[in-house]
Amino acid sequence: MLALGKLLDLTLAGREPAEKTQLTVGGVRMRWLGEGALEVRPPQGGDNGLDLLLSAGIHGNETAPIELLDELIRGIARGELKPRARILFLFGNPEAMRRGVRYVEQDVNRLFNGLHEQSGGVEALRACELERLAASFFSLAERYRLHYDLHTALRGSKIEQFALCPFKEGRPTSRHELACLRAAGIRAALLQSKPSSVFSAYTRDKLDAEAFTLELGKARPFGQNQQVDLSALRTRLVQMIEGREPENEDDSLEGLQLFSVAQELIKRSDSFVLHLAGDVENFSELEKGFLLAEDGATRWVVEQEGTRIIFPNPRVANGLRAGILIVPAGEDALQARVTPAG
């Protein structure tokens, strides 16, 4: 196997490869772009026009998707996978991966869309570098741009595998891409209603890619992901990489639950209190009228029937999101969304 197929090993060891560019026996070009970054180009004449960015490890302890990308990279290096797409593989936070922690100083996934410029430290520099790598990769004209940012969650979930669909002014979420995600094992999609600072929001808003954050189960250490079933996603990614997605596939969303954001909980002070058990699962339903959280004089009360919560975390730093309240949405929510006035 080519040495560049061991990108994960190189990243965890903090080493550079001796050769920065290698060719597989089938003519696939693999190029090391920097720590945790590998570009793959198909053989001349075999390119189908897809630019596919696959990122994982933005949070260093979310290891199942890191292992999935490692498997794909090794398959390409051995000649078992035969890419027809250009691919950029990114391991987002190498130092956190080496330490087995979510992040070292601050959450990289809160530093995109330029927010790294308002901060400092190793993770701010890494967010800037990831933006640069993505912008360079998606700079070619007349190509189809797609980004999957792969994660696992801190807690269990009543819907284990789900997608977050970043907001872009005036541009609806692609029904076709949602149907592809459904075929990849994703069972719910959250349609976001305003800009955000996560990696997929940057690539969608600034680089005009179809981009999604995929939550794929619960975070576990390396080698302990037997309970995280990524087989459907792996099959789909192999099809995309090799350019052999089913030709007669329809855009049905049957089996994919759609949700929209009803409210975000922003922690403003150390007085913030979340009135939920510490082990509450994502997508847990909350009763209308329930006092969910308090922060000084601010109170969050559940206002709609069918409201659920995802990502509850009262331990975030002040100024960050401590949870999202979501409600079921119909397919009409896929229409172009605009930022509310004011």
Q: What is the pLDDT of residues 321-341, one digit of tens each?
A: 899 999 999 888 887 555 544
Contacts of 194 (CB under 8 A, 6+ apart): 167, 261, 339
- Region 167-183: mean pLDDT is 92
Q: 95 is written with which tokens?
A: 């130092």
Q: Is the pTM above the cut of 0.85?
A: yes
Residue span(s) of the chain under CATH 2.40.50.630 come to: 262-334
Active-site residue, from 123, 215, 247, 281: 215
Any idea which residue has 């099809």 for tokens?
A: 239
pLDDT at 147: 98
**Is CATH 2.40.50.630 correct for 262-334?**
yes
Residue 220: band (very low, low, confident or very high) from pLDDT cuts 50, 70, 90 = confident
State whether residue 93 is helix, strand or coil. coil
- Region 125-137: mean pLDDT is 97
Is 247 part of the annotated catalytic residue set? no
- The CA distance from 302 to 308, in Å, is 9
Asked whether 214 and 55 are in contact (CB, 8 A), the reply is: no
Q: Give the CATH superfamily of 3-242.
A: Zn peptidases (3.40.630.10)
Residue span(s) of the chain under CATH 3.40.630.10 come to: 3-242
Q: How many residues does the chain have?
A: 342
- Region 241-270: mean pLDDT is 89
- The CA distance from 185 to 200, in Å, is 19
- Region 256-276: mean pLDDT is 94
